Copies of this chain bind each other. A is one copy, B any other.
Amino acid sequence: MARRSDHAPEELKRLALEAGRAIVMEEGLRGLTVRRVAERIGYAPGTLYNLFANLDDLIVQLNAATLDALAVVLVEAARAELAARPERLVEAYFDFVESRPRLWSLLFEHRLPEGEDLPDWYRPKLAALLGLVAEALGPLMPDQTREARQAATVTMWAGLHGISTLAVTSKLTLVAETEPRALGHLLVRRMLGGEN
């Protein structure tokens, strides 16, 4: 078990992900290259292939960390009293997106090569995130079946994603004078059966 310096493999991986994160935050996906990550941590490009299968793998792990961070802020928002939860969750979601737009963009901008799909450990992460929201908002849809509540939650989730994506890529300001955040609130209110 020899190593160049005092970086254990796990530590090195953490460093590489942190470097990748910094690059994405500064320049987005287009600036993220194997060589740049390697340079930033003071290693040769080849070394990264001991830690990750390839660049796609690194990106997927970067995205997993972003999902974890999102989960943290959503859990916090879900602590609010029942009536306030929808608004708090929407606020937390948009705060997150606006505070790290490029990192959040990476979540959806990056696509695995044709035919490859996300690793098995990714699925539970996503499911947990959705489950968290579903559980927080479930009591607000009492007269619905479990399936209906799940469908409503997923629709809200996808809807917020859609609004944010269009906003971040400025394809929304092209057609809407309303703030994305307000659209998010509107969406959730209506999906929960609100009257206005």
Chain A residues near B (Cβ < 8 Å):
27-30, 105, 108-109, 111, 113-114, 117-118, 122-123, 126-127, 130, 147, 150-152, 154-155, 158-163, 165-166, 169-172, 174-178, 182-183, 186-187, 190-191, 193, 195
What is the minimal beta-carbon distance from A183 to any residue of chain B, in angstroms? Answer: 5
Q: A151-B176, A155-B186, A175-B127 are in contact. Are A27 and B114 (CB under 8 A)?
A: yes
Tell me whether B193 and A172 are in contact (CB under 8 A): no
| Chain A interface, >50% SS class | helix
**In-complex Cβ contact of A111 among B29, B177, B195 (8 A):** B29
Given that A30-B113, A111-B28, A160-B162 are contacting pairs, would A154 and B169 also be in contact in the complex, using a CB cutoff of 8 Å?
Answer: no
Which residue, of A158, A160, A169, A172, has the highest number of chain B Cβ atoms within 10 A?
Answer: A158
Report the nearest B residue to A176, measured CB to CB: B154
Q: How far is the CA of A154 from the CA of B190 in the complex (A)?
A: 14
- Listed from nearest, the 4 A-B pairs whose CB atoms lie closest are A162-B162, A159-B159, A158-B162, A161-B162
A117 near B159 (CB under 8 angstroms)?
no
B residues near A160, Cβ cutoff 8 Å? 162
Residues of chain B within 8 A (CB-CB) of A193 are: 190, 195
**Shortest Cβ distance from A81 into chain B, in angstroms?**
24
